[in-house]
Amino acid sequence: MTSDGRPNSVRIDELLAAGPTRSFEFFPPKSDEESAILAASLEDIQPLEPSFVSVTYRGGRESRQRTYDLVTQIEHDGYVTAMAHVICVGHTRAEMRDLLKNYAEAGVQNIMALGGDIPDDPSAANSEFEHAIDLIALAREIGDFSVGVAAHPDGHPRSPDRASDRRFLAEKLALADFAVTQFFFEVSEWTRLVGELAELGVTKPVLPGIMPVTTISGIERMKIMGGVVPVALVERLVAAERLGGPREVRAEGIRAAITLCQELLDDHAPGLHFYTLNRSTATSEIYHALFE
């Protein structure tokens, strides 16, 4: 505990240095129903002993406060380290400086520095940031944060090509401590990313992001979210639906995710980062298959 009774937060770069991590991502609830679902999910993952959890933030004043409230609540509950997503686009430097100071004063040591899309908020017009790298530099001024950044195996949608994307990512990782990838479905996507960064002299940890496809409709949603499901996996899921309906689709999607995770661990990935959509069931099944 700290001198004022707050639980000690653990830096994620230190967790990664100690060995493979297991982490889970959540988003702040917007309603009582979502709050109940999230509370149940957080309780369900406690026996899995997560290394840390991360909390998303999509931009705008209301979302910023919800993220702050959830991160600080998790930290003060004391059972797991939390990482706050921070988006720089749509903020002035003064706003971002205050937010980072508030996190530091609350005992939060870990942030995910993101560029983000311009939010649907009048304050976006006052943005003094363009890219996540500017936020990393400010975070280094404000506090002793462990800083993560986003990585896209196929390249960021706004990058002109994969080679330039890797150069931009290498520049971010020169200042940050680790990266977390967008979700993907084939181990070769992660190994290619890590290999291309190594060619640029970057060897900092790149955590693979995992999100199982558990419904046929989820295939299209994944595409909208930035992760194209490979044809071979789509065919497996469609065949599963013919064989056993939605239940078999879900089972096949989880089997595919288990295989991907095991291949990543075999290739010495620094950990596994699960995108939960605030529900613990599928993630728990994958975890138990891998580690028990």
Supply the residues annotated as catalytic: 25
Q: Which two tokens stand for residue 18?
A: 């100690």
Among the listed residues 83, 193, 202, 91, the one whose alpha carbon sits nearest the alpha carbon of residue 145:
83
Can you give the chain as a three-state secondary structure string? CCCCCCCCCCCHHHHHHHCCEEEEEECCCCCHHHHHHHHHHHHHHHHHCCCEEEECCCCCHHHHHHHHHHHHHHHHHCCCEEEEEEECCCCCHHHHHHHHHHHHHCCCCEEEEECCCCCCCHHHHHCCCCCHHHHHHHHHHHCCCEEEEEECCCCCCCCCCHHHHHHHHHHHHHHCCEEEEEECCCHHHHHHHHHHHHHCCCCCCEEEEECCCCCCHHHHHHHHHCCCCCHHHHHHHHHHHHHHHHHHHHHHHHHHHHHHHHHHHHCCCCEEEEECCCCCHHHHHHHHHHHC
Q: Please, which residues bridge with residue 9 across strands?
A: none
